[in-house]
Amino acid sequence: MIEKTIAGLKVGDDQPVRVMGVINLSRESFYKGSVIPSDSVLDAALKMVEEGADLIDIGARSTWPLAGKISKEEEHSRLIPAVKLLKEVTVPISIDTMFSDIADEALDAGAGIINDVSGFTADAGMADVAKDHGCPVILMASNRVPGDPVGMDAVMDSLERIISSAEEKGISPDNIIIDPAIGRWTPEKLPIYDYETIDNLQRLRIFEKPILAAISRKSFIGETLNKPAGERLYGSLAATAIAVRNGAHIIRTHDVAPTIDAVRVAESARARIPSIRSGIIEAELLYIKNPEDCKRAMHSIGATSAGSEVMKKKTVHYNIKLRNITTTEALIIKQEMLARGGDAALPREAVSHETDKVSLIIAGTQLQVERLIKKIRHQVRELPLIADMLSELINKKNDVVFGYSR
């Protein structure tokens, strides 16, 4: 069960999905309609809070790859005075910066959270600032530059490394929020990868951290709809609803009021995570659809790397339906699955050979199915063809291009 208190705000599975309003001071932003004049910062923040924002995120440097670059001094001159204006705002203030000295001053000026899109990779001093202030941090998946992991597997690898590094540097595990870097941060980051991420947000639960999704008006929505940033609200709301349905705990948005409506409906359609606690004993059903995530879960409880490697393919379960195969082939497949600890369901007529063609449902772990494929690949009849089909089926399941290209 994910349950944290972030700057006094409870965030987690049994809490409402939190909405973070964006105060954008960057004139270089991809979405010009989001830029707030310096003399309107307080009014904009108060309006967002009135609309229901649980947090405010304020930044002065555009992270859009095509944005004009500004100096650190310019970022500082925009940001620090604005943070000071927000002291009377009643919700936590997050500071969006990659520079440790700016973050340090902003925290002294009243901010309570660091939002570092580089995941502590841009400025080695950022972790020390966060540790010294004991403040929560939002860490985005990044390797060499912000947001560069391409594909959900790369996002998982990046966040695993970033979380481990942050905790080794003294950041409390309870103070870390993770961001999977949705958006075209690099040219290689095509829209299919953002859709894969949104569809697989639940994989991030393995890290036991609150999940932040920053979706608002981003380029993958624009490329899908062929619309500029100013016309992407409805697309943003659709993507937001899917992200909430798939496990996001915090939504970062330029459009607070309509986003809250989408969030409330989507979270009502999200089933609660089954978990039980009695005294100090806890039980929770894990969501594991990828063998590497199984390894991560096992590492988290202290299992060895060797043991985790052996176990990982035993945790992902397949149910595969085969149609129009011969009764003989069906019976062989069932026998081979039973021999490997799995099973297969087939009609009664197959056992008595009362029909020539039947359908079959294979039920087993990834490891059992892979061993079945290896076994029947060199047998008689159409079994080698069936082995190839099963292999291709599994490959398609893990193929991002197949899954998300239209």
Annotation says 377 is catalytic = no
Q: Are residues 240 and 298 in the same domain?
A: no
Q: Are residues 165 and 190 in the same domain?
A: yes
Check residue 390 and give its pLDDT. 95
Strand ranges for 194-291 from DSSP E: 212-214, 250-253, 275-278, 281-284
The CATH number linked to 342 is 3.30.1370
CB atoms within 10 A of CB 352: 9
Residue showing tokens 């987690």: 12
The CATH number linked to 180 is 3.20.20.20
Q: Are residues 142 and 87 in the same domain?
A: yes
Q: Are residues 265 and 385 in the same domain?
A: no
Check residue 90 and give its pLDDT. 94
Beta bridge partners of 191: none
Annotation says 87 is catalytic = no
Overall domain count for the chain = 3
| Number of residues assigned to the chain | 406
Q: Are residues 180 and 47 in the same domain?
A: yes
295, containing H or E segment: helix 291-300
**Is there a domain that residue 136 lies in?**
yes
**Is there a domain that residue 251 lies in?**
yes
What predicted TM-score, i.e. pTM, was given to this entire model? 0.92
Q: Are residues 211 and 78 in the same domain?
A: yes
Residue showing tokens 């309870």: 174
Full pLDDT tens readout for the chain, 406 residues: 899 999 999 999 999 999 999 999 887 777 777 888 888 999 999 999 999 999 999 998 877 777 778 888 999 999 999 999 998 899 999 999 999 999 999 999 999 999 999 999 999 999 999 999 999 999 999 999 999 999 999 999 999 999 999 999 999 999 999 999 999 999 999 999 999 999 999 999 999 999 999 999 999 999 999 999 999 999 999 999 999 999 999 999 999 999 999 999 999 999 988 989 899 999 998 888 899 999 999 988 889 988 888 888 888 999 999 999 999 999 999 999 999 999 999 988 877 777 788 999 999 999 999 999 999 999 988 999 999 999 999 999 889 999 998 8
Check residue 85 and give its pLDDT. 93
Instruction: Extract the tokens encoding 251.
Output: 């939504």
Q: Are residues 223 and 359 in the same domain?
A: no
The residue segments making up the domain with residue 332 are 316-402
Instruction: Extract the tokens encoding 179.
Output: 């961001």
**Is there a domain that residue 330 lies in?**
yes
Q: Are residues 117 and 228 in the same domain?
A: yes
Catalytic-role residue among 18, 218, 295, 371: 218
The domain boundary, picked from 212, 246, 275, lies at 275
Q: Are residues 232 and 138 in the same domain?
A: yes
The alpha carbon of residue 223 and the mean position of all alpha carbons in its chain are separated, in whole angstroms, by 21
The domain boundary, picked from 275, 304, 327, lies at 275
Distance CA 248, CA 347 (A): 42
Q: Are residues 258 and 293 in the same domain?
A: no
**Is there a domain that residue 281 lies in?**
no
Q: Are residues 330 and 270 in the same domain?
A: no
**Is there a domain that residue 282 lies in?**
no
Q: Are residues 101 and 166 in the same domain?
A: yes
Catalytic-role residue among 4, 61, 245, 252: 252
Instruction: Extract the tokens encoding 80.
Output: 């620090």
**Is there a domain that residue 280 lies in?**
no
Check residue 33 and give its pLDDT. 77
Distance CA 253, CA 42 (A): 17
**Residues 308, 315: contact at Cβ < 8 Å?**
no
Nearest CA-CA partner of 142 in 168, 169, 123: 123
Q: Which residues contact 17 (CB under 8 A, 6 or more apart)?
A: 244, 248, 249, 250, 251, 263, 266, 267
The alpha carbon of residue 380 and the mean position of all alpha carbons in its chain are separated, in whole angstroms, by 44
